Amino acid sequence: MTSTATGPTALSERALGPDLARGAMLLFIALANSHYFLRGDSVLGGFPQETGTLDRILTWLIATIVDGRAFPMFGLLFGYGVARIAARQSGPPKATRRLLWRRALVLVIVGALDGLLLFVGDILVAYGVVLAVGVWAVRWRDRWLWVVAALFFALTALPSENSMSISTAPPDSAMLPTDLAGQLADRLIAVPFIALVGPIGFAAPFLVGLWAGRRRVLEQPEQHRRLLMTVAAVGIPAAILGAQPVALTLARVIDRPGADTLSYVGPLHDATGVLGGAGYAAAIALLSVRVKARPGRVIHALAATGQRSMTCYLCQSPVWAVVFSGYLLDLSGTLSISATAALATTTWVVTVLLADRMRDSGQRGPFEMLVRRVTYGQPAS
């Protein structure tokens, strides 16, 4: 029996742009995830509303450039990586699908365990579901990728009162468990729900990422400069402007509108965030062109973090569990928005330093090793 699976890309052969984007944007992931744990007498969009000036400024910044913007970028990069994996396979389509299904399986298992034991909002399980279904899209024509992506994007933009960006619900017992038994009982419901609903928001970026990956847009930014400049110039301003109704409301600069208005501005925030995610990826790919010749220590460290993004992402989960769980430190009602942002930033910096240390010693991340071993049936090189 002849193997048709080409192994993972060696670290020395990886493109700078995608890894730099993953490493830098893990800061935004930490900022986006951590504030949803906070409690207060009144909570809107995951932000307590009884806050001082600094907290209000940070609320506006996070709602404008972080929330709903970083996750779509990772969805795009995920699709991009899947396209590159598929392009390296020399066997029949069935063999490629099996390889990708193995990858999806390990993402679902690791994500579900993380969701049950540490961070209920883990997105890896949603990525695994997207990939398990999305393997059929790997061979679609470009036209169909764009048509289906547009349909999911339109679904994101439909009026809804359930947008996380304007939700009035405080963190529930699944996020802030008071005991381990109750945590497992609540999360046995919450984790499958995220696995089923989460892929809806990731589908459009994932499909666009498949298209971009076929053309190696982020790996060869010099050849796609005009496209990348257009995406960055349109996507980032659209995300900033589209966030303002929600961001200004959360920061209490403008009065909170009625439910009917919120049902429109929440989806507007989410939909423009998809554009912003693509804009971020494009801007960082263009930046990689400028720094590639002399990257320096910081760029090397951020790229190393991107190369170990799954490990560095999962390293955030124990922090949230220890700091916010009711049966551990239980600081969700104590920390302010600014203190939580500082905690998220510090957590990210520690993972960057850890990844850089692993780069110096020639080590891959342990979870990257696990994914590659399951996917390819061999250790990563």
Instruction: Report the alpha-carbon distance of residue 230 to residue 279 in Å, rounded.
Output: 9
Q: Which of 264-268, 287-291, 374-378 has the lowest mean pLDDT?
A: 374-378
Mean pLDDT of 343-365: 97
Residue 311 φ then ψ, to 5°: -60, -45
Average pLDDT over the chain reads: 93
pLDDT at 1: 30
Residues 46-74: pLDDT tens digits?
999 989 999 999 999 999 999 999 999 99
Residue 343 in this model has a pLDDT that exceeds 60: yes
Q: Which of 52-61, 98-107, 120-129, 250-259 has the lowest mean pLDDT?
A: 250-259
Nearest by Cα to 366 from 303, 312, 319, 323? 312
Residues 181-228: pLDDT tens digits?
999 999 999 999 999 999 998 999 999 999 999 999 999 999 999 999
Residues 242-273: pLDDT tens digits?
999 999 999 999 998 888 888 899 999 999 99
Residues 219-249: pLDDT tens digits?
999 999 999 999 999 999 999 999 999 999 9
Instruction: Report the alpha-carbon distance of residue 157 to residue 304 in Å, rounded.
Output: 35
pLDDT at 2: 37
Residue 145 in this model has a pLDDT that exceeds 80: yes
Residue 359 φ then ψ, to 5°: -60, -45
Contact status, residue 328 vs residue 322, Cβ threshold 8 Å: yes
Nearest by Cα to 199 from 125, 256, 135, 149? 125
